[in-house]
Amino acid sequence: MNPVLEAIKKRRSVRSYESKPIPKDVLNTIIEAGNQAPSAMNSQPWRFVIIEDKEMKKKLLQAALPNAKKILENVKDVDPERYKLIMKRYEEMEDPIYYSAPSIVFVIGSGRYADHSCPLACENIMLAAYSLGIGSCWVGFGSMVTDNKEIINALELKEDERIFGPILLGYPKVYPEPPQKKAPVIKWI
Count of positions (residues) in the chain: 189
Q: Give φ, ψ of 39 to 5 degrees.
A: -145, 150
pLDDT for res 89 = 86
Q: Any idea which of 74-78, 132-136, 164-168 has the lowest mean pLDDT?
A: 74-78
Instruction: Report whether 94 contacts 15 (CB < 8 A).
Output: no
CA 142/CA 183 separation, integer angstroms: 29
pLDDT for res 74 = 87
Instruction: Report whether 24 contacts 97 (CB < 8 A).
Output: no
pLDDT tens digits for range 20-78: 999 999 999 999 999 999 999 999 999 999 999 999 999 999 999 999 999 988 888 89
DSSP-derived secondary structure for 44-107: --EEEEEE--HHHHHHHHHHHHHHHHHHHHHHHHH-HHHHHHHHHHHHH-S-TTTTT-SEEEEE
Residue 109, strand partner residues: 46, 162
pTM above 0.75, yes or no: yes
Could you state, in order of their start, the residue ranges of all structural domains in the chain?
Answer: 14-170
3-state helix, strand, coil in the chain (%, to 5): 50, 15, 35
pLDDT for res 178 = 87
Q: What pLDDT band is residue 126 in, cutting at 50, 70 and 90?
A: very high
Q: What pLDDT band is residue 165 in, cutting at 50, 70 and 90?
A: confident
Q: Yes or no: is domain 14-170 CATH 3.30.70.260?
A: no
